[in-house]
């Protein structure tokens, strides 16, 4: 869509752009970030945050790289606020992996509620940005045109959606997933739940006119917002399940790497002990909720492919995610005996992998899933709230410091 924001807030779809953005941001990640991160002066004004989320989402750049770059310039104490925000992502990912039922419930609720609200006037006005609510209507357009909203704007938006417009939170979360470049099942679902009071029991987030005016530099001061935020009610939170474990790869087998949009930096996941005879790249619009995110990842993989061909000295073949049988035939023709793939978290790619894994195994191929050391270290601690998780961060981070 072309609109007033379309030239702003661009996210060049490439790992090298993420690294440049990180390099520019690092000096700001200490006291400046802590002081200004809540301010959102608009997409055309100097940024108070890193805008790394679309790159982190698909792991074009990893959490470990970002945190290490920051700790190379700042002490943990000075950069604590920024590091904690990066670890919020890790925490939400882990929390949902330990409770996949919460994602499955969300998916079912979207399917159930969408037809029920098909003719709802309030929903139509919200999606079109014609509610008349100052700020809210602007964020609708900004989100649709840029694929991004500042964290504070996301919080105000979700709060107004739930408590002022009284719309179901899952439909708001679905709207975000369809437009955000960084659309992520864990961060999105659990943040919406957090605003609605489902995540921390009894604790909601209420957007106020004064807070919005203060942190937007007076750009918006919406009248008529809800004055109370009664926590939403839902089924109880399931107990955390143990994380799945996987067999190690067999170095004697002819192996192929199966790369997918959940983790696009294989160089940091597979050390020199891995040899690949072939790399398969899996990408498909059905892995995304919105076209914009699909386009972003598709462009980012162009740069990735040439880099991988050079590094691993093999060709990278695109595979058609819709043709499940053809995928197996192609792999067999390449004389591959073992498929190795990065772990997929709850979401659309995970469903594909789970289905295909059985087919690979039925066809006599070994299928190996590899999870990152970062996730293995942090996720098991996402059993309770963020506060006890936060306490463990400094000690766990030491494992990922190279010096
Ligand atoms: C209702 C709602 C929905 C959200 N949906 C998503 C989503 O779909 N995908 C997504 O990546 N984030 C989501 N967030 C979290 C957060 O808003 C974005 O990660 C952040 O705005 C990205 O901007 P940034 O990269 O400039 O962040 P920075 O402030 O520079 O933070 C650096 C990195 O830390 C992580 N991070 C920062 N804040 C949070 C947070 N509150 N929760 C989780 N991770 C965080 C992100 O990976 C981010 O790139 C949501 C928040 C809310 C309130």
Ligand 1, residue 188: give the atom nearest the CA: 5
**For residue 171, pLDDT beyond 90:** yes
CATH number at residue 379: 1.25.40
Substitution site in 187, 190, 345 for ligand 1 pocket (most atoms within 8 Å of beta carbon): 187
Instruction: Please report whether residue 333 resides in a domain.
Output: yes
Confidence of residue 5 (pLDDT cuts 50, 70, 90): low
pLDDT of residue 90 exceeding 60, the answer is yes
* Lowest mean per-residue pLDDT among 77-81, 120-124, 180-184, 319-323: 319-323
22 lines ligand 1 (CB under 6 A): no
Any ligand 1 atom below 6 A from CB of 158? yes
How remote is the CA of residue 324 from the centroid of ligand 1, in Å? Answer: 34
CA 99, distance to chain mean position in Å, is: 17
What's the whole-number mean pLDDT along residues 330-346? 96
**Pocket residue to mutate for ligand 1, from 54, 70, 85, most atoms within 8 A of Cβ:** 85
Q: Which ligand 1 atom is at minimum distance from the Cα of 51?
A: 26
**CATH number of 199's domain:** 1.10.579.10
Q: Which domain holds residue 322?
A: 255-370
Chosen domain end from 158, 186, 215: 215
- Based on the fold, state whether residues 385 and 345 are members of the same structural domain: no
Strand ranges for 210-325 from DSSP E? 255-259, 278-282, 316-319
226 found inside a domain = no
Using one digit for the tens of pLDDT, what is the confidence trace for 233-246? 999 999 999 999 99
**Mean pLDDT value of segment 351-378:** 95
Say yes or no: CB of residue 85 within 6 Å of ligand 1. Answer: yes
Task: Establish whether residue 90 lines the binding site of ligand 1, counting it when its CB lies within 6 angstroms of any ligand atom.
Answer: no
**Tally of residues, the chain:** 403
In short, whether 49's Cβ falls inside 6 Å of ligand 1 is yes
Q: How large is the average pLDDT for residues 25-50?
A: 92
Residue at which a domain ends, from 190, 215, 240: 215
Strand 338-342: give its sheet, edge to edge: 316-319, 278-282, 255-259, 338-342, 366-370
Nearest to 349 by CA among 244, 255, 245, 259: 259
Q: Kindly report the average pLDDT of the chain as a whole number.
A: 94
- Determine what percent of the chain is predicted with pLDDT higher than 90: 88
Burial class (CB in 10 A: 0-12, 13-18, 19+), 68: middle
Is residue 84 located within the same domain as residue 125? no
For range 336-364, the mean pLDDT: 95
Confidence of residue 180 (pLDDT cuts 50, 70, 90): very high
Looking at residue 1, what is its pLDDT?
44
234 in a structural domain: no
CA–CA separation, 10 vs 305, rounded Å? 22
* Cβ–Cβ under 8 Å, residues 29 and 81: no
Closest among 88, 85, 69, 87 to 27, alpha carbons compared: 69
> Is residue 9 very low, low, confident or very high in pLDDT (cuts 50, 70, 90)?
low
Return the closest-CA partner of residue 58 out of 266, 245, 280, 285.
266
Q: For the chain, what is the domain count?
A: 3
Residue 4's pLDDT band, with cuts at 50, 70 and 90, is low
Q: What pLDDT was estimated at residue 7?
A: 52
Average pLDDT over residues 288-295: 97
Exposed (0-12), middle (13-18) or buried (19+): which is 175, by Cβ within 10 Å? buried
| Local confidence band at 31 (pLDDT 50, 70, 90 cut-offs) | very high
The string of pLDDT tens digits covering residues 190-216 is 999 999 999 998 899 999 999 999 999
Out of 21, 53, 160, give the residue to mutate to test ligand 1, the one with the largest number of ligand atoms within 8 Å of its CB. 53
Taking the centre of ligand 1 as the mean of its atom positions, its distance from the CA of residue 157, in whole angstroms, is 14
Atom number in ligand 1 closest to CA 92? 43
Question: Contact, 163 vs 229, CB < 8 A?
Answer: yes
Per-residue model confidence as pLDDT tens digits over 55-67? 999 999 999 999 9
User: What's the rounded Cα separation, in Å, for the pair 200 and 100?
Assistant: 18
What is the mean pLDDT of the segment spanning 165-175?
A: 98
Together in a domain, 402 and 351: no
* Residue owning the nearest CA to atom 39 of ligand 1: 85
The Cα–Cα gap between 402 and 25 comes to 21
- Assess whether the C-beta atom of 18 lies below 6 angstroms from ligand 1: no
Give yes or no: residues 326 and 271 share one domain. Answer: yes
Average pLDDT, stretch 248-264? 96
Residues 263-270 have a mean pLDDT of 95
Displacement of CA 375 from its chain's centroid (Å): 14
Q: How far is the CA of 151 from the centre of ligand 1 (A)?
A: 6
Pocket test for ligand 1, best of 22, 28, 55, 89 (most atoms within 8 A of CB): 89
């Amino acid at each position: 869509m072309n609109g007033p924001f379309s030239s702003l807030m661009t996210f060049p779809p490439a790992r090298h752009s993420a690294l440049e953005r990180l390099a520019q941001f690092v000096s700001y990640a200490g006291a400046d970030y802590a002081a200004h991160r809540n301010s959102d002066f608009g997409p055309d004004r100097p940024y108070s945050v890193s805008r790394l989320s679309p790159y982190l989402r698909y792991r074009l750049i990893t959490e470990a790289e970002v945190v290490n770059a920051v700790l190379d310039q700042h002490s943990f104490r000075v950069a604590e606020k920024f590091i904690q925000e990066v670890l919020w992502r890790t925490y939400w990912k882990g929390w949902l992996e330990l409770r996949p039922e919460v994602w499955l419930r969300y998916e079912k609720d979207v399917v159930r509620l969408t037809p029920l609200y098909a003719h709802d006037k309030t929903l139509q006005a919200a999606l079109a940005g014609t509610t008349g609510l100052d700020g809210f209507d602007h964020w609708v357009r900004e989100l649709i045109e840029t694929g991004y909203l500042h964290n504070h704007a996301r919080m105000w938006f979700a709060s107004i959606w739930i408590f002022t417009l009284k719309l179901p939170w899952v439909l708001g979360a679905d709207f975000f997933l369809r437009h955000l470049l960084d659309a992520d099942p864990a961060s999105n679902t659990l943040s919406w739940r957090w605003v609605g009071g489902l995540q921390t029991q009894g604790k909601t987030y209420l957007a106020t006119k004064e807070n919005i005016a203060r942190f937007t530099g007076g750009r918006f001061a919406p009248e008529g917002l809800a004055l109370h935020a009664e926590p939403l009610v839902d089924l109880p939170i399931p107990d955390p399940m143990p994380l799945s474990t996987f067999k190690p790869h067999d170095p004697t087998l002819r192996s192929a790497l199966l790369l997918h949009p959940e983790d696009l930096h294989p160089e940091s996941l597979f050390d020199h002990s891995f040899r690949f005879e072939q790399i398969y790249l899996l990408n498909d619009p059905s892995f995304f909720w919105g076209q914009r995110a699909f386009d972003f990842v598709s462009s980012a993989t162009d740069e990735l492919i040439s880099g991988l061909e050079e590094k691993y000295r093999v060709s990278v073949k695109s595979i058609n995610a819709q043709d499940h049988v053809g995928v197996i035939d192609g792999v067999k023709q390449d004389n591959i005996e073992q498929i190795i793939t990065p772990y997929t978290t709850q979401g659309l790619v995970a469903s594909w992998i789970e289905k295909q894994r059985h087919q690979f195994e039925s066809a006599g191929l070994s299928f190996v899933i590899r999870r990152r050391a970062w996730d293995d270290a942090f996720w098991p601690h996402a059993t309770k709230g963020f506060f006890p998780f936060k306490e463990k961060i400094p000690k766990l981070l030491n494992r990922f410091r190279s010096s």
